[in-house]
Amino acid sequence: MPIYEYECTSCGHRFEVKQRFSDDPVATCPTCGNSVRRLLHPAGIIFKGSGFYITDYKRGNASNGKSEKSSETVSSSTSD
């Protein structure tokens, strides 16, 4: 079950509530009894796999340099 964070609109009290998706949102502050609003937080991002590090990009450039050299040797052998 997810944990939701709420903030009171009048006193600023913040609290967390463990709720199901099907449960109704909390409407009143447990401290003062006024209305509350649900706070939203961005989700964390996890990058997995190759291509996210600077060393991975250098490998791609190195292979391009090798392919250019191989094309030069092919063109020089055909011109003989």
pLDDT band of residue 79 (cuts 50, 70, 90) is low
* CA–CA gap between residue 60 and residue 78 (Å, rounded): 28
State the average pLDDT for the chain.
76
Look at residue 16 and tell me if it is in a domain.
yes
Contact 32, 9 (CB under 8 A): no
What is the total count of domains within the chain? Answer: 1
Q: Which helix (H) or strand (E) element contains residue 52?
A: none
7 lies in which domain range? Answer: 3-39
From 3, 50, 52, 54, select the one nearest 26 (Cα to Cα): 3
Contact 65, 39 (CB under 8 A): no
For residue 8, the model assigns a pLDDT of 96
Look at residue 69 and tell me if it is in a domain.
no
* 34-63 pLDDT tens trace: 999 999 988 887 777 666 666 655 554 445
Angle at alpha carbon of residue 44, lines to 41 and 49, rounded to 5°:
165
